Amino acid sequence: MGVKKSRALSNTVVYIIMTIMALIIIYPVFYALCGSLKTNLQLMSGESLLPTTWEFQNFIEVWKKANFAQYTFNSLFICFFSTLGAVLLSSLTAFCIERCDFPGRKFVKNLYLMTMFIALGAVTLRPLYTLAVNVGIQNSLWPIILITIGAQGSNVFLVSKFIAGLPKELDEAAIIDGCGPFRLFWQVLLPLLKPIISVVALFQFRVAWNDYITSSVFTMTTPQLRPLTVGIVQLKYGASAAAEYHLMMAGAAISIIPMLLVYLLCNRYFVDGVTAGSVKG
């Protein structure tokens, strides 16, 4: 009985901690959704968390006022090519590290994975912008895409651990059948990497979708190229220079929808990838 009571008590403590953590994570989203349905006066007064009147016209006003159709297209454009580039780069790099034999392979692997612990942040924005100007791509979305694709250390780590768990007999059988390195990757290993690639794609989509600093710097002189994250902040002030936080909340609520849809579509693969990666790694 003592063991059962101790186990029940520990489970209760775990559930309480998990519930508290879930509430802390969910509360900002719930607050934004409630704020998006309030008037600015209700939101600033802070009388209640729930709206007293449901102002659905906030979403219509935001969509028309902030050019959200263009901003949404820009965000989706960035996320699509950033996610595609990250998946290709991380999977090909992990394949070379784990399956290709070349001099200095372990050194290159450790050197590449060291980037997981390096975060220069905003310090690099000035030289990156100067480089984009010198190349002549500063007035496009490609600098943002290329920057978000870079520094794939964590993604390479995930994919390489997954590949390391795959039997090398697959490679040997494919080579006997006449497969070269590229065919081995595309036709044999890549289909088996779907779970972990889904994890990488979801993480990369989230990073690209939520990026603000880089997008703000590179679209400062080209407002038509702003993604949603930058466009939402511009909603703070209206024509009368009065703070319109209710519109910001409505814009934030709209921007949450694509991320939720992507997660719902990739949820099964995401869970499979995390579980498989934890076992194989």
Band (pLDDT 50/70/90 cuts) for residue 3 is: low
Q: Is 281's pLDDT higher than 50?
A: no
Q: Flag the least confident range among 88-97, 113-122, 160-169, 251-260.
A: 113-122
Please tell me the predicted confidence (pLDDT) of residue 21.
Answer: 93
8 Å CB contact between 101 and 219: no
Q: Across-strand partners of 243?
A: 237
Per-position DSSP letters for 162-221, written without gaps between them: HHHTS-THHHHHHHHTT--HHHIIIIIIGGGGHHHHHHHHHHHHHHHHH--HHHHHHTSS
Q: Is the pTM of this model over 0.85?
A: no
Q: Is 273's pLDDT higher than 70?
A: no
Backbone φ and ψ of 243, nearest 5°: -65, 125
| Record: fold of 67-280 | MetI-like fold (1.10.3720)
Please tell me the predicted confidence (pLDDT) of residue 195.
Answer: 85
Each residue's pLDDT tens digit, 133-162: 999 888 899 999 998 888 778 888 888 888
Band (pLDDT 50/70/90 cuts) for residue 242 is: low
Band (pLDDT 50/70/90 cuts) for residue 121 is: low
Q: Is 260's pLDDT higher than 60?
A: yes
CA 35, 37, 42, 46 dihedral sign is negative
Phi-psi label, residue 94: left if phi above 0, alpha if psi -120 to 50, beta otherwise: alpha
Q: Is 240's pLDDT higher than 60?
A: no
Question: What are the residues whose beta carbons fall under 8 Å from the beta carbon of 136, sequence distance 6 or more?
Answer: none
Each residue's pLDDT tens digit, 4-62: 777 778 888 889 999 999 899 888 888 888 888 888 878 777 777 888 888 888 888 88
Q: Is 118's pLDDT higher than 60?
A: yes
Please tell me the predicted confidence (pLDDT) of residue 280.
Answer: 45
Q: What percent of the chain lies above the pLDDT cut of 70?
A: 90
Token pair listed for 263: 């997660």
Beta-carbon neighbour count of residue 147 at 10 Å? 21
Q: Is 278's pLDDT higher than 60?
A: no
What is the Cα–Cα distance from 86 to 102, expressed in whole angstroms?
Answer: 23
